[in-house]
């Protein structure tokens, strides 16, 4: 009898040399983190991972898990059967009953014979299964170049048959490239920056600076919602909510009006650095894009970089807003990001912010603000929320 399983295609991992098994182990671990309740068991054959789950595993959950796990380029629900012609045909019928083709249009059989001892060639297999498809969907014709429907069959140790090949997010498994702290605001950009960093294997936790009551409870809720949406891509994430009202008020009171944003950004960097170091994170990620706003000029970024000796990565640096929005829509954060609760109240934003600060002068001004105590207090009062790898808030 045919057995259900999930076939997973890995992308860049397969190009890894000596470290390949470490990347694969991490990928399996990350999948297990999401689907542990269904008792996952993995097996491997050349370029494919086979994931076996409990019979009654929730397919929606499996889809969500696999489509958000970096390191996977594609996946499909498949049926495995013996290398027996009758069984192959019966299994193909079962697959097509569960995932029917469109009634009209075209189809293709995509047959792969990895086991060269199997007596039929991939052409023979295709002809045999095309007959099955014709019987079930008499109005479909064959199109090998641009088919509307595809039935895939792979003959390996067993035979694997599937129709829907889903796209995975690509990239490399999270936690293969060290840890970073993301500055997460309620805007469009920073959740996208998180995804971009995670896609290259970085394990990302988030920090949000909350200036209650100048920033509302709704603004905080919005940030929590964003964290829960990106958490599956990040393989789970901590959200540190740092109360920064006193810090903001101090900056507002003592800094030059055109420098308030810059000074706030400097103190965010320093706060993030301290939290990062206590958690063994070695980089800070922000959603800045070059020249998007006054504080994102080369000079301003150079100044904020000088506030920390951690690596600061800005994955969106060369992206237009349109491109960022496109990704935000794909990952599902856009609708939340555009909700109208501002993450930073207008009273803290200068009318004419400085765009080309002199690094040494601004550093001197920042030192004069003596922010250390406010930063230490804020970190002490920070609240932590943990969103697990399926995006659920724990604890």
Listed as own residue / partner, the contacts of 220-226 with beta carbons closer than 8 Å and 24 or more positions apart are: 222/186, 222/336, 222/337, 222/339, 222/341, 222/343, 223/184, 223/185, 223/186, 223/343, 224/385, 224/393, 225/336, 226/184, 226/186, 226/191, 226/333, 226/336, 226/337
**Helix spans in the chain (H):** 20-35, 59-67, 85-98, 122-136, 189-199, 217-234, 245-254, 260-278, 298-305, 321-331, 334-337, 359-368, 372-381
CB of 362 to ligand ATP, least distance (A): 16
For 125-153, give the secondary structure using H, E and C.
HHHHHHHHHHHHCCCEEECCCCCCEEEEE
Query: 69 vs 286, which CB is nearer to ligand ATP?
Result: 286
* Nearest-angstrom CA–CA distance, 139 and 287: 51
By a kind-dependent CB cut-off of 5 to 8 A, residue 308 interacts, out of Mg ion, ligand ATP, none, with none
By a kind-dependent CB cut-off of 5 to 8 A, residue 287 interacts, out of ligand ATP, Mg ion, none, with ligand ATP
Q: Which of residues 132-171 bind Mg ion (CB under 5 A)?
A: none
* Nearest-angstrom CA–CA distance, 187 and 222: 9
Query: 154 vs 343, which CB is nearer to Mg ion?
Result: 343
Cβ atoms within 10 Å of 21's Cβ, excluding its own:
10
CB of 291 to Mg ion, least distance (A): 15
* Nearest-angstrom CA–CA distance, 352 and 344: 16
By a kind-dependent CB cut-off of 5 to 8 A, residue 140 interacts, out of Mg ion, ligand ATP, none, with none
Q: H-helix or E-strand containing 168?
A: strand 166-170
How many residues bind Mg ion, per CB under 5 A?
2
CB of 73 to ligand ATP, least distance (A): 28
Query: 171 vs 187, which CB is nearer to Mg ion?
Result: 187
Please, are residues 195 and 189 in contact by the beta-carbon 8 Å criterion? no
- The residue number with the shortest CB distance to ligand ATP is 187
CB of 334 to ligand ATP, least distance (A): 11
Instruction: Name the site residues for ligand ATP (rule: CB under 6 A).
Output: 183-185, 187-190, 207-209, 268, 286-288, 292-293, 295, 343-344
* Nearest-angstrom CA–CA distance, 202 and 374: 30
By a kind-dependent CB cut-off of 5 to 8 A, residue 208 interacts, out of Mg ion, ligand ATP, none, with ligand ATP
* Contacts of 246 by beta carbon, 8 Å cutoff, 6+ apart: 374, 377, 378
Q: Which of residues 176-235 bind Mg ion (CB under 5 A)?
A: 185, 187
Query: 88 vs 263, which CB is nearer to ligand ATP?
Result: 263
* Contacts of 380 by beta carbon, 8 Å cutoff, 6+ apart: none
By a kind-dependent CB cut-off of 5 to 8 A, residue 190 interacts, out of Mg ion, ligand ATP, none, with ligand ATP
- The residue number with the shortest CB distance to Mg ion is 187
Query: 79 vs 208, which CB is nearer to ligand ATP?
Result: 208
By a kind-dependent CB cut-off of 5 to 8 A, residue 161 interacts, out of Mg ion, ligand ATP, none, with none
CB of 343 to Mg ion, least distance (A): 5
By a kind-dependent CB cut-off of 5 to 8 A, residue 293 interacts, out of ligand ATP, Mg ion, none, with ligand ATP
In angstroms, how far is the first alpha carbon of the chain from the final one? 42
CB of 185 to Mg ion, least distance (A): 4
CB of 189 to ligand ATP, least distance (A): 3
By a kind-dependent CB cut-off of 5 to 8 A, residue 273 interacts, out of ligand ATP, Mg ion, none, with none
CB of 71 to ligand ATP, least distance (A): 25
Query: 69 vs 185, which CB is nearer to Mg ion?
Result: 185
Site of interaction with Mg ion (CB under 5 A): 185, 187
């Amino acid at each position: 009898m045919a057995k259900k399983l999930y076939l997973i295609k890995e992308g860049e991992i397969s190009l890894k040399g000596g470290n390949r098994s470490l990347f694969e182990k991490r990928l399996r671990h990350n999948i297990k983190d999401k689907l542990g309740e269904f008792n996952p068991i993995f097996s491997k054959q050349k370029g494919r991972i086979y994931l076996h789950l409990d019979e009654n595993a929730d397919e929606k959950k499996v889809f969500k898990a696999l489509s958000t796990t970096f390191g996977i380029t594609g996946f499909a629900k498949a049926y495995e059967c013996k290398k027996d012609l009758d069984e192959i045909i019966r299994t193909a019928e079962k697959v097509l009953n569960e995932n029917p083709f469109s009634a009209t249009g075209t189809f293709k059989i995509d047959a792969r014979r990895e086991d060269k001892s199997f007596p039929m060639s991939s052409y023979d297999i295709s002809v045999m299964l095309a007959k099955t498809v014709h019987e079930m969907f008499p109005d479909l014709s064959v199109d090998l170049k641009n088919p509307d429907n595809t039935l895939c069959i792979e003959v390996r140790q067993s035979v694997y048959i599937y129709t829907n090949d889903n796209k995975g997010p690509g990239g490399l498994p999270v936690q293969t490239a060290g840890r970073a702290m993301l500055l997460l605001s309620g805007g469009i950009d920073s959740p996208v920056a998180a995804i971009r960093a995670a896609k290259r294997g970085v394990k990302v936790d988030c920090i949000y600076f909350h200036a209650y009551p100048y920033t509302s409870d709704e603004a905080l809720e919005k940030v929590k919602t964003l964290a829960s949406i990106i958490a599956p891509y990040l393989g789970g994430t901590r959200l540190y909510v740092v109360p920064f009202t006193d810090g903001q008020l101090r900056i507002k009171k003592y800094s030059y009006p055109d420098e308030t944003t810059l000074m706030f950004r400097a103190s965010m960097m320093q706060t993030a650095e301290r939290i990062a170091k206590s958690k063994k994170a070695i980089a800070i990620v922000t959603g800045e894009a070059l020249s998007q706003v006054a504080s994102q000029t080369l000079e301003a970024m150079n100044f904020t970089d000088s506030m920390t000796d951690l690596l600061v990565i800005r994955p969106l640096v060369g992206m237009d807003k349109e491109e960022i929005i496109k990704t935000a829509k794909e990952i599902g954060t856009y609708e939340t990001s555009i909700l109208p609760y501002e993450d930073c109240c207008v009273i803290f934003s200068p009318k004419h912010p400085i765009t080309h600060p002199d690094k040494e002068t601004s550093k001197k001004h920042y030192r004069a603000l003596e922010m250390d105590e406010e930063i230490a207090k804020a970190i002490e009062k920070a609240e932590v929320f943990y969103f697990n790898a399926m995006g659920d808030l724990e604890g």
